[in-house]
Structure 1
């Protein structure tokens, strides 16, 4: 099955799988994938380096060196190839050549710490093997131009228990003092023995004494110290201090992972780390807080549900912490992803508190990036989950603020009033201030300036009460702007009212002339209708006495008289009409007397009516006389 999986891959898939297996410590399986990768791309320098690392881990230094040199065949400046060759040479014991390649890599890539550490450990290994330069004398011979490090190493290993000669003791005294911290790490438990032997050397009386066999105590103590020094040098060559530190850390990690912890220990671990994460975030260290949360998350994910009963809840909490840290760092997209993971876990596991927290955080991110509708949707879903009046106050205020940003002033005012009500229930003056400001801003957008002035004044009282000078200054500026807008609105209304009143009292010459003509036509029609009515009555009286020839003989005369009277009245009417027109022209020049003249014209109209009635009465009288 493994072979079948290998046969059907690509170069990148083989490399990825080989790298993963190498990291897991499965070096033989990793070699299979790397060999197949090199079959697809022969001579690929990255694949050669990876395979060289596998060979080195398996102890095949010859093949490891061969692949490392092959990776440098076409590119002598390939840093990974240089480092791998140096590591292989160091493992083989060729410390001088290893140092050469470490130096080459360091010159090319001085920013890489691994080259600097390689130089230090190579130099330390060389010094540990051959001693300091002052303790070594080279003869000036042609055949000593090169010294083999491997030979020196073997000689040092073969002389572990040989007694020192007086010359060697003198050389030992000239060597530089080793760092006690390094010696303690190299010797481990034997470091206490060496310290005890060195303490015995200071006892002169003991050092001058001898055993029953005649062996001096000083020689025995010196032999013991020499043996321990040689052991430390040998162990330093085989495994430098840097590798020891790394292995110790790996052992500690494996111990922590493999150790079966009790529920109490797990609980203490989680509580302590969560407190540390919150402390780092509140202490303006969001990056450290995020990194620690990621490490704790990996640890908890490695535990089973039996070990951590509320595992999903803790994982969601850690995602929330990472989202808050990324929010503080300005990484909004990453923060939104973390909070959405927290939201999904809360929904899946039906955790109301976690759901409320996640909706709150998602809404905050949406509001920060300007997606106010999504923020409103998240926060409105949170409303039923809010437990305290203070939480509702903040929630209503933020929703109202989003509506105000969307130019929905009525909804903003409504939520501002709800926020104020919750703040009153809680008795929180600061949130009362925020609610009043929100309501006033919504009223300004609705152009309800007088109400906005009153609300701003209430907000100013709250700001003065809590001694918030910045809020006081901002509210005073806002009050000034709203007052100016209110005065401007009042002036506009006054001008509109004056224009409407002037239109109702329009006494222009054209209007006056039209009203006079209308009044004259109505007067003529009323007089004419009354005259026709009287003639019909007179004709009816004549028909009632047809036998009176004398009266009938006088009828033409009566008609002629009535015609003359009518003509006379029409002439009079024309004259009056002319007078009225002249008055109209006069009214055009004298606008102030227009009302009085209108009244005068009405009186003259009444007078004409009276004269018309008088003429009718005279006509009736004449008819009666004729009868």
Structure 2
């Protein structure tokens, strides 16, 4: 080791790629310590190279050095928490250390970043199985808020017996109580301290906080109380104590997997031939190439192995169909990574044909899963829904159903089928509630909120966005918090705009109603004026007619008077004429008399 350290200090003499390639080759050969030295030389030239840190972490893990494996995995994520290879290595290291809950959390984060990567899905499954094997399934565990403080309560309530019979009874009760305590919990605080390690101080701190009654009444931003958070923390630590006290071996899940394995897998183990051993070794190499981000090399080696397996007989390779299906599956995954989606569809469909031919339900579910993913990636959402709907009866766990319902809902949302998207989102939320997975609860709430938003149900969308935001805060997922907060703000802004528009429409409607009423009022006023005017006109006409009639009567009277006057005048005129005639006659008479008088002298 001293020589190795001196060699490391002396500095690299070759290029980074040379050392990195040498390390990859040594790892495949199983020379992990030499591979670590090569990777260390490579990192001297590029200390922050993430891929090299991940590769060295993988070697440390293969040697069983989980501490250094975790250290390199975390170093590969510095500056980029979304580096999925480092995230996978961190989860694997935590799993190997027995930190199943933390490993499960990081598997979920990786699955969120790379939903097409089957390694994260397998990691989620094995972490859950390890937790179930260690502490039992959640349904079989009844958690109680019981801590060491109960001992002090019992001690304060204890009263010294006054008689021998009471003393015997008390001793018997204490004995039964101690027997029950031995069965249900660790024996002493010393045992608890050893089991919890550094967490024991946290447990004591939480128990002391419970004594602060004022603090217990304080509410949190998410709507709960401080007391609930503290009790949950103590409960977790109690459960953790029990877990470490009676845990099974770290890899106890392998026994369960063997029990659940298909019969054809059992046959493979019973009849392993030289060819089978060769295929298994090559397939492990191919899987590691895909996991480490070398899809081109993975595809090439897998295609070469397919041709080799096809040339062997069923007798030489008893599980020939199984191997071919797995190889087509890996080829399809590599082609997806390379963006060769049409070829990937072909590969996954070959995997599906083999699974249907041999009635392998697990392989059929896997192939349908991958085909649906490819359709979704290329935008063929209706085909993805059709394929995933065929997969739905093959799902086995609530977590798998949660993912499937969510993806079908997303496709419906892309297709504009908002009602179907909401329904599948609610299904995903219900399944996530059963799994207790906070991240999938968040995703399902977002999907339902988006579907409701598309249907213009803005207030309902706000409710689901707020629930998703609370889950994001619980997970301490800052990118998700930011995205959901922005969507929530936009949603609330739309509600405000809708309310303003509605208010404006109401005001316009009121304005129209006022204008209409005013018009009606004016019309009625005009009608009244017209009626009044007509009445007045009628009255005026009647008055005028009366005056005319009066005038006519007066004229008639006047005419009559004039006629009477004329008659009178005529009578007077006649009298005058008579008088004139009489006067004329008189004059004539006078003239005759005059003439006679004149003639008389003459005669004389």
Q: TM-score, normalised by structure 1?
A: 0.40
Higher radius of gyration, 1 or 2: 1
Q: Structure with the greater relative contact order (CA < 8 A, sep ≥ 6): 1 or 2?
A: 2
TM-score (norm 2): 0.42
